[in-house]
Amino acid sequence: MIGDKKVLFSGMQATGNLTLGNYLGALKNWIDLADEYECFYSVVDLHSITIRQDPAELRRRARSLLTLYIAAGLDPEKNCIYYQSHVSGHAELAWILNCFTYMGELNRMTQFKDKAAKHADNINAGLYTYPVLMAADILLYQADVVPVGKDQLQHLEITRDIAQRFNNIYGDVFTIPEAYVGKVGAKIMSLQDPSKKMSKSDENPNGSIYLMDDPDTIIRKFKRAVTDSEACVRYSEEQPGIRNLIDIYCVCTGKTPAEVEKEFDGKGYGDFKLAVGEAVVSVLKPIHSRFDELTKDKAYIDSIIKKNAEKAEYYALKTLRKVQKKVGFPERIR
Ligand code: TRP
């Protein structure tokens, strides 16, 4: 708890582009959470280097991601949006937690196995202990809730195990975090394969709408979206492509599926796809202009980065000092 608010922590990788699915399914719903939770959103650059990165690219993408979160509506005065590498407590706590994590536990992590297979030439120790760093992120802020996708549930589970183990030895040091289950956002599927979630790591760029796609690209991708041969705009299980497009249209316009069916009654897929594309363009337009404005205002973004790093560090140090004392490190004489 910070004051009378529960703490929410989330980390995001600056690798890959945010998609319309990330925005409609998660980010958009986070905007109002700051009223209820003390929110921390960390650009997890320490995690990023578990895979080889081009330094200039990493720096550019990390700043762009941070800017995009603000442009998409997260108020940086209310939400602590910061770089993980600016708060050294993440790495320090991760080391300590490494000593409370068993190799047997890490051996079970499915993401490690996947990534090791994908990057066989660079299976480094950081990739292996990645979940411990993630545990440190979460526990450092005494987070109560963590909004995570299915792929990260196993990491949240190990975080809870590590925290519990530590608490059993040293008393109540860490808050045991839970997965955030809030208002479920829209689940947006790939435009090329509606059985798959829209993903930033899709090999086919036509399957995903990226938040920074320009209007022409967006319209073109919707025109190419996979549909079916039924030739009518109907919200049904048998028409997963059309159903996905209706879902997207509904969140963008606030209409219900029934209203959309009526609106496009007797019209072809061409008209409908164009309408969905245009609806998405009008949702993303204000985000694009805000992003451009913010990108130009270097001093403002710098001031946010500085202020939020200081805020994060304040809470991180509180936990870290307590942990250091518990495990037996001597107090610094100042
Ligand atoms: N591993 C997460 C991902 O790839 C990112 C992450 C790092 C994270 N630290 C976190 C997510 C802490 C939630 C909480 O998506």
Cβ neighbours of residue 299 under 8 Å, at least 6 residues apart? none
Query: What sign for the dihedral angle of Cα 15, 249, 41, 8?
Result: negative
Same-domain check for residues 82 and 217? no
- Residue 179 CA, chain-centre distance (Å), reads 13
Q: Give the residue, out of 30, 44, 47, 178, with the most ligand 1 atoms within 8 A of its beta carbon, to mutate for a pocket test.
A: 44
3-state secondary structure of 249: helix
Same-domain check for residues 321 and 268? no
**CATH assignment at residue 77:** 3.40.50.620
In this prediction, residue 184 carries a pLDDT of 65
Same-domain check for residues 306 and 246? no
Same-domain check for residues 11 and 132? yes
Same-domain check for residues 47 and 167? yes
Same-domain check for residues 73 and 146? yes
For residue 76, the one-letter residue type is P
Low pLDDT (below 70) residues in the chain? 184
Q: Of ligand 1's atoms, which has the minimum distance to the CA of residue 147?
A: 13
Query: What sign for the dihedral angle of Cα 222, 12, 182, 238?
Result: positive
* Residue 67 covered by a domain: yes
Domain of 93 in residue numbering reads as: 6-181+298-327
Q: Where are the alpha helices (DSSP H) in 297-333?
A: 298-327
Q: 82 pairs with which residues across the strands?
A: 42
**CATH assignment at residue 248:** 1.10.240.10
Q: Is the CB of 65 under 6 A from ligand 1?
A: no
In this prediction, residue 76 carries a pLDDT of 97
* Residue 93 covered by a domain: yes
* Residue 98 covered by a domain: yes
262 among known catalytic residues:
no
Q: Strands 79-83, 145-146: parallel, antiparallel or unpaired by DSSP?
A: unpaired
Query: What sign for the dihedral angle of Cα 257, 258, 264, 269?
Result: positive
* Residue 123 covered by a domain: yes
Same-domain check for residues 220 and 284? yes
* Residue 318 covered by a domain: yes
Instruction: Report the distance separating Cα 23 and Cα 7, nearest Å.
Output: 22
Same-domain check for residues 215 and 136? no
In this prediction, residue 320 carries a pLDDT of 98
* Residue 191 covered by a domain: no
Instruction: Report the distance separating Cα 300 and Cα 303, nearest Å.
Output: 5
Same-domain check for residues 46 and 161? yes
Are 226 and 242 a contacting pair, CB within 8 Å? Answer: no
pTM of the model: 0.92
CA nearest ligand 1 atom 11, residue: 11
Number of structural domains (the chain) is 2
118 among known catalytic residues:
no
* Residue 197 covered by a domain: no
Same-domain check for residues 217 and 128? no
